[in-house]
Structures are given as C-alpha cells and as structure tokens.
Structure 1
Amino acid sequence: MNTINPLITNPILPGFHPDPSICRAGEDYYIATSTFEWFPGVRIHHSKDLVHWRAMPYPLTRKAQLNMEGNINSGGVWAPCLSYDNGMFYLIYTDVKSRVGAFKDTHNYLVTASDIEGPWSDPIYLNSSGFDPSLFHDEDGRKWLVNMIWDHRKGKNHFAGIVLQEYSVQEQRLIGPAVNIFKGTELGLTEAPHLYKHNGYYYLVTAEGGTGYEHAVTVARSLTLQGPYEVDPANPILTSNGRTDLPLQKAGHGSLVETHTGEWYMAHLVGRPVQDKHCILGRETALQRCIWSEEGWLRLATGDRYPELQVAAPNVTPHPFEPLPDKDHFDQTVLRNDWNTLRIPPDPSWLSLTERPGYLRLYGMESMSSTHRQSMVARRLQTFEGEAETCLEFAPDHAQQMAGLILYYDTKDYLYLRVTHHEEKGLCLGIIQSRYGVYDELMEEDIPLTQGNRIRLKTVIDHDRACFYYSLDEHSSWVQAGKWTDITHLCDESPEYIRFTGTYIGLCVQDLGGTRKHADFDYFRYITS
C-alpha cells in the first residue's frame, strides 16, 4: 500500500460534477462528467494517482457537436461515457431536448479522438431510445452500445430495461438487433449501464433507485454478453439510502476502473446537503476502493455498502498538479477552462477578450429567463464557504440594461447583484432574486452610484446563505448591499421536479432592448475557505 500519500479525499471533484465515467489509458486516468445545459460539453479530468485531478480541455466545443440553444433546464449533456481502446478515445453522450412528462427526447452520439486533448471528431448519431449510453469494447474486438430504454406508455415501467446493440466501427452506426438484456431489480429506475468483463463473466453495473436520496449501484453478471444476467444477492453494493448521518448522500451511478497496479476503484455520484436536503453544490464525484469476493462479486473494500470520505489510494507515486490561480485577470485570448457559458458557445458576437485587452467584454443579450441566448460566463461553486469578486465598468442608458455578479442555478433560480439605470437615480445597484420562478427585488430601494461607472462587486457564501457587497474604487472598503439571503433554492431539489446541475457564480449582461450594450469586467477572483 502506498504510504507516502495513502488517502483519497472525497469528493474528488467537488461542485457540479455528476454521473462520472472513469477510464484508464496506460498509466493515466480520466473521468468524464455531465455538463447539462452548460457549454462546452462534457468535463474531463485527468489524474496519475487517483488523488490529484486537473481539468482537461473540453471535447464538445463547437455547435456541430452540440447545439443546445433552446434546451430546457437540466437538459443538454447527460451521463457521458468515456472509454479507451487500441489507441483511441471514445466518448458517448446524450443531448436531452425534453425530459418532463411522458416523453423524453434523448439523442445519443459518439465522438472520437486519438488524443484526450483533441481534436474530437464530428458526432455520429446512434439512437434516441433512452439515455445513459455506454460503449463496451469486448475482447474479440466487437463494440456494443448499452443504454436504458424509455417507455412512455401509460401503465408501463418507464425505465424499461437495458438495451444492448452492436456498434460497427467500419459503418459508423449501430447494427443488428437491439436486445433488452436486463429489466432491473426491485429498486427500479434502472439506468446508467456499464459493462465490464472480468474472470470470464460479463458484469453489468447499473444505477437504480433514482438519482436522489435513494440512489444506489447494483450489479448483475452473466457468462454470455446477452444474458441471462444473475443479480448480485448483496445488491445494492453502494448506497447512502437509510443513512442520513452520512456526509456523502445520493451515492450511485458507478463506473469501474482497474489500475495499472491491479487495484479496483469505483467512481460514483454523491451529494452533500445543507439545511436538511438542499444540495446547492449539485451532485459531485467520489471514489471508493473495491475488491472482488471469493464468489466473484464486486464489493467495497470496507466490507459494507456505504461511501467513505477517505479511501486508500492505489500503490502509485503521488502526482499533484499546479492549481489555477484564484484570480483571472482576463489577459488571455480565450477563456480559462474553469469557465462555462450557458447553452451557446462563446463567440465574438457577444464575448471578447481582445477588444479591450485585460478585460472580459460581454455584450448584453436576453434575460435570465431565456433558454436561448444569455450573455453569461460562469464557474462552478465548489465549496460551502467562499467568496467571489469582480470589477465592472458599465454605462447603462435605461432599466432594461443590466450587468453584474450572479449566483445562478437555472432560469427559475438565481440571486443577482446587478448594476442598471434608474430614471431618477441614474446609475444604481440592486439585488434581483428568482426563487422557484417567482421574481423579487430584495432591496427597498436601489443604491445610487454617484462616483463613476467602475464598481467592485463581491459575494460571500456561507453554506445556506449569501451576502453581496460593493465598492466604488480599489481603495474603498466593502459596503454591504442588502441582507444575508437564504440560497437553499439554488439546489437540485425543487417543488416542481428534481433538477440535475448545481450553483454557478457568474458574470452576465442583459440588454432587453436589443441594442447590445456591453460591460467590461477587469478580473474575477474566487477564494475558497
């Protein structure tokens, strides 16, 4: 056992990093996670030791690969599967166009690259029968797609099982019959299939119980690829269900990797709630060490089924990476890869890092309610305590032009410290809130800004609440704007339906009059506690 760096600390990918798919290429390890409506699509992290992780360039960077303009909240990229075979990386992903009600429009695609940093190919369309597609590379060279199948019909089990179909590399399409190889267990909601072959058995790892607090990982096995599959008598092999005392909740959606030293690990999804059951950071990624039992079943190394905060690392030399600076001066020509845009790619029509060097310039577009063209650049909130600040230059002409610092979950839930123009006060500052779709303004009156249009903005976050501050120059102290505000609505749990992303901290500009008024941001600083 590695005694130099013996522990993996969970979650290994804090903040919005759900649905992990882990793979190994030689002595390098990669995890792909869902990005939903955020662009670019599919986040990939790299590690040499399973302890330290760094973000890699995104694979889905152009509209030809991923066109999400108009996608619904928590639509877009669901549950990617990253695999490696014979010198080639394969990435399968779903672009979800509808998800609420009886029907789900879930289009599944494949892209490939010989280098994890790309370039990645244009997508090959596979099917739309369900979501959570995964590619299995069998020992004989054949490749097989598995995905859950969605049955919309009344009285049917909507999670209708796991479908297997062969993929032809030569023809770049699915061939042969689609076979339902597994109907699931009594836990229900069977999804997230991954196939593995070990000691003569095909192992089917699935997620069941839903992606909330009853989430779980279940396993079945067969001597033949198409089954029948025997259910593990100890299922679920991983869950947090029934253990409200655990710091890691929602454990499920597992993916396996064997290290180059012959050790086994499972990457899986978790959530860390605040104030009862509010996961403001979204669903995160954790790792658990695994072993194989004498009967040939996969087990957690601890001997039980519950996720651990700290796990023994593999027997490899530690390999830390240099972290990104906490302050982005916007002095590059492209955005750093900790930034995302909402649904649409950054392009010069609305975003520039070169028109005013050292500044991020955003041209105002649609409102925070839009699922089409928002002018927003944002990064994940990754800790329960922290603060973020920016310096904004903005000269609005009327109240339909706004710019500022936003805590954003989706079009229905955000908290926004915005600068705008008032007919009588002129340039002013106020706070907008949307809570489960209900609009509000949290200050009795906007604050007049009388000393020019360069304003520093800051937010401080403390678990279930946040507070905004402002300053009119670099030498002035911070002035509190409004009160400490509950932010538990910025979470996966909603009164209407479960959601799948996480809280972002963003910079944004709106021009509802359509004149594209711009704002310049001098820097952005994110400090974690």
Structure 2
Amino acid sequence: MREDFDGEQLPPAFQWLRTPWPEGLFSLTERPGHLRLFGRESVGSQFRQALMARRQQSHCYSASTVVEFEPEHYQQQAGLICYYGAAKFHYLYITHDDETGKHLRVMSSLPNHVQTDTFTAPIPLPSGVPVQLRVEVDEERLYFGYRLGDGEWHWLPQMFDASILSDEANAPGQPNFTGAFVGMACQDMAGTALHADFDYFEYREREYCMDARRS
C-alpha cells in the first residue's frame, strides 16, 4: 500500500489514538498532497497524541515515508514509528538540540529490559531538506535507514528488537495495546503545535529476507 495523501480522506487502514476530534491532530488540506501532523503530547502519552499509523499484518515488511520538519529545540520531534503502545516502540525521529542542531536518532521503549528507554547517537541533518525514513522488519530483526533527496540510503548500524512489539514482551502488571502498528508521529511538548508534513507513506509486505537493506 502506498498513500500519497492527494485526497481529503484517509484510507481506512490508518488509525489514530483516542480522540473524536482528529482536526486537532492532522490535516490533509492545509498543504494539499501531504499529511500534516500537528505536534502534540509525547510519544508515551495515552491522551492527545499526533500518531497516524496502520497495522503491521506480516512478520516481514518494508515501510517508508518522507518528512519535512524544522524543529527548534529538543521538545519537538517527528518521524517514523514502529509502535505497540505507550511503553513499547522504536521511533526514528528528527529533533534539535543546542549541541548538534537538527539531527536524527532512535528512541526505543523496551518493557522487558533492565534499561527501559534507550537512544542512539544523534546523526546531524541539514536544514530545509526533506528526509526519507525507512524501516525493514524481518521477524525479530528491525533496521532503520534514511536518505536525503535521491541519494543513497544510510542505515543505522544497530539491529533493533522487533519482538518487543507484542503481547509477550511486557512488564508485570502492565496493560497491552491492540496490536503492532507502523506509521508517522509528531510531538511538540512545548505546546506550540509545530507541524510536520509527510508526502507519502508506503507499507509493503514481503517474504523473509536475510538482509533487506540491500534491496
């Protein structure tokens, strides 16, 4: 499935979290041809969260998107997320800090690990350039990649644990969500609702691949 966001309605495959007022989270008309997400609460929030995703329906799949986002500080984030719930996800996101400037990194929430929240090292990004984001999942193996313009894909060296996106990976006594999702998200914990524009979202189920990063 590839969605280019050319219409005024989202396909039924896309879902968002716990609100009957979606106009406060996203728009398909403010920038035609794009899904605009308005930055809301943190990715761990169970309330007002701007997260638009579709179900993972295969153990092996590829997903990608391209985002235009110009954060001003570390409380503003947007990117591609593999999500099971507020405490179980891998999130490839763009943000900004005073030391690195605009950059890309991964935040993981790991419910059955000693260290529950982990972050990869920041990867500097130029301003004013759309960033393509991609994930490749083969059963328990998950890889993230990115590229600028029509250049080559750059793959993060880490292999992430896709098996946490399941009922079986859970801290004792914690509730579960309703299934694994992959999609787009945007946060602005400063409350200024900085938006991110996504030009497309593609989800493709496929056969198991030893190294999908080469495809």
**Normalising by the residue count of structure 2, what TM-score does the alignment of the two structures yield?**
0.89
Q: Name the residue aligned to 1:440.
A: 118
Q: Structure 1 pair 482/516, CA: closer, same or farther in 2 (3 Å)?
A: farther
Q: Secondary structure at the match of 2:163?
A: coil
% identical aligned pairs: 39
Q: Secondary structure at the match of 1:506?
A: strand
Q: Distance in 2 between matches of 1:349 and 1:499?
A: 26
Q: Name the residue aligned to 2:186.
A: 509
Q: What aligned pairs does 1:93-108 form with structure 2 within 5 A after superposition?
A: none
1:163-194 CA-partner distances (Å, limit 9, x unpaired): xxxxxxxxxxxxxxxxxxxxxxxxxxxxxxxx
Letter of the 1:446 partner, please give it: P
- Given that 1:451 and 1:472 are in contact with CA atoms closer than 8 Å, whether structure 2 keeps it comes out as no
User: Once the 2 structures are TM-superposed, how far is the Cα of residue 500 of structure 1 from its aligned partner?
Assistant: 5.2
Q: Distance in 2 between matches of 1:520 and 1:433?
A: 23
Q: Distance in 1 between matches of 2:23 and 2:178?
A: 27
Q: Secondary structure at the match of 1:415?
A: strand
**Structure 2 residue runs without a partner (length 5+):** 207-215
Q: Name the residue aligned to 1:151.
A: none
Q: Secondary structure at the match of 1:390?
A: strand
Q: Secondary structure at the match of 2:156?
A: strand
Aligned mate of 1:471, from 132, 147, 153: 147
Q: Structure 1 pair 399/428, CA: closer, same or farther in 2 (3 Å)?
A: same
Aligned mate of 1:362, from 37, 56, 62: 37
Q: Secondary structure at the match of 1:348?
A: helix
Q: What aligned pairs does 1:29-428 form with structure 2 within 5 A after superposition?
A: 326-345=1-20, 347-428=22-103
- Given that 1:395 and 1:453 are in contact with CA atoms closer than 8 Å, whether structure 2 keeps it comes out as no
- Given that 1:391 and 1:455 are in contact with CA atoms closer than 8 Å, whether structure 2 keeps it comes out as yes
1:88-142 CA-partner distances (Å, limit 9, x unpaired): xxxxxxxxxxxxxxxxxxxxxxxxxxxxxxxxxxxxxxxxxxxxxxxxxxxxxxx
1:38-95 CA-partner distances (Å, limit 9, x unpaired): xxxxxxxxxxxxxxxxxxxxxxxxxxxxxxxxxxxxxxxxxxxxxxxxxxxxxxxxxx
Letter of the 2:138 partner, please give it: D
Q: Which has the higher contact order (CA 8 A, sep 6+)?
A: 2
Q: Distance in 2 between matches of 1:345 and 1:375?
A: 13
Greater Cα radius of gyration, structure 1 or 2: 1
Q: Distance in 1 between matches of 2:165 and 2:172?
A: 14
1:242-286 CA-partner distances (Å, limit 9, x unpaired): xxxxxxxxxxxxxxxxxxxxxxxxxxxxxxxxxxxxxxxxxxxxx
1:195-216 CA-partner distances (Å, limit 9, x unpaired): xxxxxxxxxxxxxxxxxxxxxx
Q: Secondary structure at the match of 1:330?
A: coil
Q: Distance in 1 between matches of 2:111 and 2:139?
A: 19
Letter of the 1:506 partner, please give it: G
- Given that 2:131 and 2:147 are in contact with CA atoms closer than 8 Å, whether structure 1 keeps it comes out as yes
1:338-366 CA-partner distances (Å, limit 9, x unpaired): 00001113522221000000000000000
Q: Determine which structure has the larger helix proportion and give its number.
A: 2
Q: Name the residue aligned to 1:490.
A: 165
- Given that 2:80 and 2:134 are in contact with CA atoms closer than 8 Å, whether structure 1 keeps it comes out as yes
Letter of the 1:512 partner, please give it: M
**Structure 1 residue runs without a partner (length 5+):** 1-325
CA RMSD of aligned residues (A): 1.4
- Given that 2:36 and 2:195 are in contact with CA atoms closer than 8 Å, whether structure 1 keeps it comes out as yes
Q: Distance in 2 between matches of 1:376 and 1:495?
A: 23
- Given that 1:427 and 1:450 are in contact with CA atoms closer than 8 Å, whether structure 2 keeps it comes out as yes
Letter of the 1:409 partner, please give it: Y
- Write out the 4+ residue segments of structure 1 that deviate beyond 4 Å after TM superposition: none
User: Once the 2 structures are TM-superposed, how far is the Cα of residue 495 of structure 1 from its aligned partner?
Assistant: 3.6
- Given that 2:70 and 2:127 are in contact with CA atoms closer than 8 Å, whether structure 1 keeps it comes out as no
Q: Name the residue aligned to 1:121.
A: none
Q: Name the residue aligned to 2:137.
A: 461
Q: Distance in 1 between matches of 2:131 and 2:159?
A: 20
Q: Name the residue aligned to 1:88.
A: none
Letter of the 2:61 partner, please give it: G
Q: Structure 1 pair 411/381, CA: closer, same or farther in 2 (3 Å)?
A: same
**Normalising by the residue count of structure 1, what TM-score does the alignment of the two structures yield?**
0.37
- Given that 2:102 and 2:127 are in contact with CA atoms closer than 8 Å, whether structure 1 keeps it comes out as no
